Amino acid sequence: MEILSLLNAQRPTLSFEFFPPKDQAGADELFKTVHELGELNPAFVSVTYGAGGTTRARTRSVVQRILRETSVPTVPHLTCIGHSKQEMTEILDQYASDQVSTILALRGDPPRDQPNYDRSQDDFQYAADLVRFIKAHPHHFEVGVAGFPEGHPDTQNRLQEMDFFKEKIDAGADYICTQLFFDNHDFLDYRDRCDLAGIHLPIVAGIMPITSIASMKRMAQLAAGSNFPAPLLKALGSAKDQESMRQAGTHYAIEQCQELIKHQVAGLHLYTLNKSSATRAIAESLIE
């Protein structure tokens, strides 16, 4: 099933993101989560792809199993760093045979064990190159791309950043899914700047509930430049224990989503970390 028609509907979509587990225990936990969240009738789910293609086989395996065991449209992430055009054709052929209709195209990062990776030798220099390549494949894929409400980490010049982003859109993108953010003003300003740049695609907002100080610190380390607004810090700081912190982070995410719905967001994409508790609480609050 193609998802673009759902994103263009009047009602915001709800979707979830998973990552490929490393072992059988992780797989068991993941698919328990998949089935629990599947009861909420998401518009689609997505499955991440490891840096440099390190989870290539596992990503496809998860996608195939979700498609086999559920009726939920499933969107594999695909990154271009480290892949040749021949490898990319093989991957796309496989997804075509799986009846996958949508792919999230990303530049991605090199593997962590290759800090001096030379990107100049890659067949795909930018995500726009991958979008263009996917669109040229005989199988019709809808293509999503990543958006950065807080700014792209590699482009400090925000005017130039939007020029680069427009190139990715013009390559054939069909919708935008943003990186996580915690201040809705960042998202709404980003959406307005897209409109000013002539970008009129559905923009899905990426939301992740913070359930512990450790997870917030880890997030700050991985996503340098993330904006943690004072109301969020105040809510987490007043928590007396782990459970109250989980509740505070979940409540903040619920209020984020409710405000975005009032501002007619095209969709809400919840980063699950392969767990259903906080994600389900957020989703159920929005369905009521």
Q: Please name every residue paired with 16 in a beta bridge, in sequence order, or none if there are none.
A: 45, 270
**Structure-block tokens of residue 27:** 């797989």
At residue 227's C-alpha, the angle toward residues 224 and 232, to 5°, is: 130
CA 213 from centroid of its chain's CA atoms:
22
Please list, in sequence order, all residues whose beta carbon lies within 8 angstroms of the beta carbon of residue 170, skipping any fewer than 6 positions away. 128
Q: Which H or E element spans position 181? A: none
Is residue 17 part of the annotated active site? The answer reads: yes
The single residue listed with the structure tokens 């990552």 is 19
Helix, strand and coil content of the chain, in percent to the nearest 5, comes to 50, 15, 40
Distance, CA of 273 to CA of 191 (rounded, Å): 26
DSSP, res 12:
P
Q: Which H or E element spans position 64? A: helix 56-69
Distance, CA of 131 to CA of 56 (rounded, Å): 18
For residue 15, which of 268, 250, 263 has the smallest C-alpha distance?
A: 268
For residue 13, which of 276, 274, 284, 261 has the smallest C-alpha distance?
A: 261
**Structure-block tokens of residue 104:** 């999230």
Query: Could you say which of 2, 17, 243, 284 is catalytic?
Result: 17
The single residue listed with the structure tokens 């990107």 is 119
Distance, CA of 275 to CA of 203 (rounded, Å): 24
As annotated, the active-site residues are 17
